[in-house]
């Protein structure tokens, strides 16, 4: 008959895969701050103060630096993150 060791190994793998989950960062922001950042994003390439504020916001909340010059892909990613933040509020 055997000890059925091969099937036990598959069960162990299934359990560990089911326990995997995404870790969501704990972010404490207000809707007002999200709206301010949302309005600043398109102007961060022309204004150093706005760029510094937006960079600090994303570093504080995501640990992700915003590069000195943001192209359309970068700006879209920032807007997507802000939209997800609004959903969590």
pTM of the model: 0.63
pLDDT in tens, the chain (89 residues): 455 555 555 555 555 555 555 555 556 788 899 999 998 888 887 888 888 888 899 888 888 777 777 888 888 999 999 998 888 88
Q: Are 45 and 74 a contacting pair, CB within 8 Å?
A: no
Q: What is the DSSP string of 35-59?
A: HHHHHHGGGTTT-HHHHHHHHHHHH
The full set of domain ranges for the chain reads: 22-88
Token readout for 26 is 């704990």
């Amino acid at each position: 008959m055997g000890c059925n060791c091969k099937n036990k190994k598959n069960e162990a793998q299934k359990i560990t895969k089911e326990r995997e989950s995404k870790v969501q960062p704990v972010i404490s922001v207000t809707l007002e701050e999200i709206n301010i950042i949302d309005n600043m994003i398109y102007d961060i390439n022309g204004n150093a103060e706005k760029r510094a504020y937006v960079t600090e916001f994303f570093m504080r909340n995501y640990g992700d630096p915003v590069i000195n010059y943001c192209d359309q892909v970068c700006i879209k990613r920032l807007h997507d993150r802000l939209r997800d933040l609004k959903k969590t509020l």
